[in-house]
Amino acid sequence: MNRGMHELVDADRGVVSRRIFIEPEIYQQELKQIFARCWLFLCHDSQIPLPGDFFTTYMGEDPVLVIRDNDGQVHAFLNVCRHRGNRLCRADSGNAASFTCAYHGWTYRNDGRLTGVPYLREAYHNELDRERWGLIPVALLGNYKGLWFATFDSEAPPLHEYLGEMAWYLDNFVDRREGRIEILGMHRWVIPCNWKFPAENFGGDAYHVPWSHLSAVTTSFSTGATAKRNATGTMVSPGNGHVVICIGPEMSGEPPADKLLDYDWATRPEVNTRLGPRSALVNPIVATVFPNFSLLRATSRTFRVWHPRGPDKTEVWSWVFMDKAAPPEIKKAIRLAGARGFGPSGTFEQDDMDNWQECTRTGRGVISRQMLLNTQMGLGHDRFDPALGAWASEYRYSESNHRHFYCRWSEMMSGAPWNEVVDHSASENDHV
Ligand code: FES
Ligand SMILES: [Fe+2]
């Protein structure tokens, strides 16, 4: 394995430099080497169901317009006018046959073609080749079970290879029941923290739950199962920097609301049949798809994108998701649990945000910035588990997922070509 930026991340020793959470030059490199190369989550199918539906988002700091054109084909373009670079579409979402720039009125059809240029004859003597000045598309666009992803890198592996073994773990969130999921939301807010703190937390930090969230745990606000110190579980790294926290298959991650617990147990036979035999081994409840798309199915059902907004700022876009086949009272209970636990006013989210913020802020000091951070928990105690298709730690209090996440981070940051870094399947040669 290419060890990447060794001076900043040493996965073998389990140390990470604090500089990667605060320095503007490193942040700029992240935008280039990670956000302009990796597959990034855009939106869910149900947000753009009809011809003409669109949704505006970001890939890194690049604004992106996702559109289903009049023929029903989905595209993703830079949301930037080709004339003087104005932001083309200012709405969050909607339905439109065309988009007209606010500055000089260039107009693009919902398939990206430039169709209208004011005063074309007078201003351009009819010499402007409109075919060459359509919206700029992403390099590759892909869909996995309703989730749209894109990359700006034409050399990137296809989405199914990029996800690899992670696909099965994603199924545990988005393909549990017939009809898959529907989504609600979103909540959007800014946290003054580096984007990697929430990404690593969702993908590998079970250690903080009984302590950071002590008040919620003590008041039984949380589910007993995931917060108990003696809870069983497995940390899983299915390759390519993706990371998952699993509880035992005999446990539920639902909040202590009878309705939701009953629903979980009642649907398990259907869910396990869909997911197959691996569901007898682990119950994945929280995950990060490298680099910045996280999903949670404990206490709340939410997925979110950690949009980077500078080294010390993250804009969170968060949705509640639920099985489409769930009855209305369950959907309501999931919605309420989602708002109670996560989102800007969620009990759990507030605990987390406070810590991520201070982990970032203290890095402003030139002396404290020189510290190394410790990701040594469980070092040497993980193993490759063929049944899980992943590196796994027996016990969920382990930072093996942090090490895999940061190892991939450093490989991408070193600019290594894809054929050197992609795991076609996580393998024993890939140990960190
Ligand atoms: S910048 Fe868009 S029309 Fe001029
Ligand atoms: Fe948390």
Protein residues with C-beta less than 5 angstroms from the ion ligand 2: 352
For residue 349, the CA-to-ligand 2 centroid distance in Å is: 6
Average pLDDT over residues 371-396: 94
What is the predicted pLDDT for the residue at 421?
87
Give the range among 6-15, 20-29, 186-195, 312-321 with minimum mean pLDDT: 6-15
What is the predicted pLDDT for the residue at 225?
62
**Does any domain span residue 388?**
yes
Ligand 1 atom closest to Cα of residue 86? 1
For residue 57, the CA-to-ligand 1 centroid distance in Å is: 20
pLDDT at 399 exceeding the cut of 80: yes
What is the predicted pLDDT for the residue at 1?
41
Q: Is 205 part of the annotated catalytic residue set?
A: yes
For residue 117, the CA-to-ligand 1 centroid distance in Å is: 9
**Does any domain span residue 5?**
no
pLDDT at 191 exceeding the cut of 60: yes
Asked if residue 114 and residue 62 are part of one domain, the reply reads yes
CA angle 129, 133, 139 (to 5 degrees): 140
Asked if residue 410 and residue 285 are part of one domain, the reply reads yes
Asked if residue 210 and residue 75 are part of one domain, the reply reads no
Asked if residue 85 and residue 222 are part of one domain, the reply reads no
Average pLDDT over residues 9-16: 94
CA angle 147, 161, 30 (to 5 degrees): 75
Asked if residue 272 and residue 378 are part of one domain, the reply reads yes
CA–CA dist 6, 411 (Å, integer): 9
Average pLDDT, whole number, for the chain?
93
Asked if residue 196 and residue 115 are part of one domain, the reply reads no
For residue 4, the CA-to-ligand 2 centroid distance in Å is: 29
Q: What's the distance, CA 422 to chain centroid?
A: 18
pLDDT digits (tens, 9 = 90+) for 342-373: 988 888 999 999 999 999 999 999 999 999 99
User: Atom 1 of ligand 1 has which residue's CA nearest to it?
Assistant: 84
Q: Is 125 part of the annotated catalytic residue set?
A: no
**Does any domain span residue 54?**
yes
- Say which of 160, 208, 381, 424 is annotated catalytic: 208
For residue 81, the CA-to-ligand 1 centroid distance in Å is: 6
Which mutation among 89, 103, 108 tests ligand 1's pocket best, with the greatest number of atoms within 8 A of CB? 103
**Does any domain span residue 185?**
yes
What is the predicted pLDDT for the residue at 224?
57
User: Atom 4 of ligand 1 has which residue's CA nearest to it?
Assistant: 104
- Say which of 62, 83, 104, 111 is annotated catalytic: 104
Q: Is 203 exposed, middle or buried (0-12, 13-18, 19+ CB in 10 A)?
A: buried
Give ligand 1 pocket residues (Cβ under 6 A): 81, 83-84, 86, 101, 103-106
Point out the ligand nearest to the CA of residue 79.
Answer: 1
CATH of the domain at 209: 3.90.380.10
Token pair for residue 57?
């988002």
**Does any domain span residue 184?**
yes
CA–CA dist 377, 228 (Å, integer): 18
pLDDT digits (tens, 9 = 90+) for 309-323: 999 999 999 999 999
Domains: count for the chain: 2
User: Atom 3 of ligand 1 has which residue's CA nearest to it?
Assistant: 104
Point out the ligand nearest to the CA of residue 80.
Answer: 1
What is the predicted pLDDT for the residue at 2?
43
Ligand 1 atom closest to Cα of residue 88? 2
What is the predicted pLDDT for the residue at 60?
98
Ligand 1 atom closest to Cα of residue 106? 3
Q: Is 320 exposed, middle or buried (0-12, 13-18, 19+ CB in 10 A)?
A: buried
Q: Is 424 part of the annotated catalytic residue set?
A: no
For residue 205, the CA-to-ligand 2 centroid distance in Å is: 8
Q: Is 352 part of the annotated catalytic residue set?
A: yes
**Does any domain span residue 15?**
no
Q: Is 270 exposed, middle or buried (0-12, 13-18, 19+ CB in 10 A)?
A: middle
Q: Whole-prediction pTM value?
A: 0.95
Q: Name which residue leads in pLDDT, 301 or 394.
A: 301
Q: Is 171 part of the annotated catalytic residue set?
A: no
**Where residue 432 falls among pLDDT bands split at 50, 70, 90?**
very low
The whole domain housing 216 covers 164-430
Token pair for residue 29?
């490199």
Tally of residues, the chain? 432
**Where residue 203 falls among pLDDT bands split at 50, 70, 90?**
very high
Asked if residue 86 and residue 191 are part of one domain, the reply reads no
**Does any domain span residue 69?**
yes
Asked if residue 172 and residue 127 are part of one domain, the reply reads no
pLDDT at 69 exceeding the cut of 90: yes
Asked if residue 135 and residue 187 are part of one domain, the reply reads no
- Say which of 53, 69, 205, 323 is annotated catalytic: 205
**Where residue 217 falls among pLDDT bands split at 50, 70, 90?**
confident
Which DSSP string corresponds to 110-169? TTS-EEE-TTHHHHHTT---GGGGSPPBPSEEEEETTEEEEES-TTSPPHHHHHTTHHHH
pLDDT digits (tens, 9 = 90+) for 227-285: 666 778 999 999 999 999 999 999 998 888 889 999 999 999 999 999 999 999 999 99
